[in-house]
Amino acid sequence: MDPTEWLPTELMLMILAHYALARVGAKVCRRWRGLCRGLHDGRTSVLPLWAMYNSEVKTAAQWKGHTDGIQGMAIGHNNKLYSASRDCTIRVWSMEDGRCLRHLTGHTNWVNGLAIGPDGTVYSASGDKTVRVWSGVDGSHFETFAGHTLQVTCVVVDRNNFVFSGSADKTIKVWRRGSATCSITLHGHTDDVFVLALSPDHEKLYSGSLDTTIRVWSVPAGIHLRTLEGHTEHVYSLVVGVGGTVFSGSRDETIRMWRGSDGKLLNTKNHHKNSVLSLALGPHDTVVSGSGGQDRTVALWCGHTGDHLGTLRHLPKFVDALVVGPEGVVYTGGRDDKTITVW
């Protein structure tokens, strides 16, 4: 019998944080070996849950350049991080040394969100009602999708280069790169579409709305499959774990977990004390959440069980933008902060 099965998650994390993997690896279950691998693999950056739990997290770096708040971020190819800002620009950063490599201009309103295509192409959603397409190599702009009647709030792209954009006009539009014409418009939400996410197999699209619901659509046909109801306020954030579990964050201060196969509500987490503005995938099947207002925290969760694994505290007031690097480094930004903070 594995003795760790009887220990609470947080106690197990405390114990493992003080021992080398070589000493305990053979004596703990596979799940814990995977979780603690990031701590003792000799890299400079490790799985963030250890530092969070031990309350020893310090800012590793701050990247400055934007002149207004940061709305979104995405990790591209070749160790590049892209940031979208209310200053109407996109900045491209080296994840190795934090240098700003490029400054992409062209939007005439806030840049609200970013997505990276399978070939590294960059897609940006803007308050100017368009989605712009940029080269991931040199940052050149080569295509614009126009058709929404209000600001474009979010964008995702699947492995076949179908592009999905959500808007304050309550619709989702489906585009194909190389054609500036919208192929399908998805209707159903009764308020702004605020966030989009794809399932790991790219066969389902999830849309979160200010109407408090999450709609599930087939990809790329756009057939409405079901509606997930449970949140009592705006849905601000979505992410789908490697096993297909859907995590949603809301103005109602909760994170809800939904089964991907049938949409059943699995769990509701009440950890945050304000809106859950951002969600991101972390290493080893973890999920990271960022909050706003006076909460000012980032929390780490097990993507399989929903167990709370740790909390990073005293961040800027709003964590609107959040990504986790391949080595567990956490990058945050927000509407009140013109800076990308590296943890």
Share of the chain above pLDDT 90, in %: 69
> What's the count of helices (H) and strands (E) in the chain, helices before strands?
4, 28
Most confident range (mean pLDDT) of 14-23, 26-35, 333-342 is: 333-342
- What is the pTM assigned to this prediction? 0.86
Q: At residue 320, what are phi and psi to the nearest 5 degrees?
A: -75, -30
Name residue 188's amino acid: G
Please, are residues 53 and 13 in contact by the beta-carbon 8 Å criterion?
Answer: yes
d(CA 193, CA 168): 6
**What b/e string do you get for 256-268 counting C-beta neighbours within 10 Å, with b at 16 or more?**
bbbebeebeeeee
d(CA 287, CA 314): 19
d(CA 28, CA 34): 10
Task: Identify the pLDDT of residue 12.
Answer: 58
Average pLDDT over residues 61-75: 96
Which residue in this structure is represented by tokens 């005293």?
Answer: 314
Please, are residues 151 and 126 in contact by the beta-carbon 8 Å criterion?
Answer: yes
* pLDDT at residue 140 greater than cutoff 50: yes
pLDDT band at 6 (very low <50, low <70, confident <90, very high): low
- Is residue 220 reached through a cis peptide bond, with omega within 30 degrees of 0 on the bond before it? yes
Task: Identify the pLDDT of residue 326.
Answer: 78
pLDDT band at 57 (very low <50, low <70, confident <90, very high): low
Write out pLDDT tens, residues 219-274. Answer: 999 999 999 999 999 999 999 998 999 999 999 999 999 999 999 999 999 999 99
Query: What mean pLDDT, rounded, does the chain reach?
Result: 86
Which residues, 6 or more positions from 300, have their beta carbon under 8 angstroms from its beta carbon? 48, 49, 52, 282, 286, 287, 288, 308, 309, 310, 311, 312
Average pLDDT over residues 99-112: 98
Task: Identify the pLDDT of residue 244.
Answer: 94
d(CA 130, CA 151): 7
Task: Identify the pLDDT of residue 245.
Answer: 96
In 9-89, beta strands by DSSP E: 61-64, 70-75, 80-85
Q: How deeply is 120 buried, as exposed, middle or buried, from its count of CB atoms within 10 A (0-12, 13-18, 19+)?
A: middle
Task: Identify the pLDDT of residue 268.
Answer: 96
Q: At residue 243, what are phi and psi to the nearest 5 degrees?
A: -90, 0
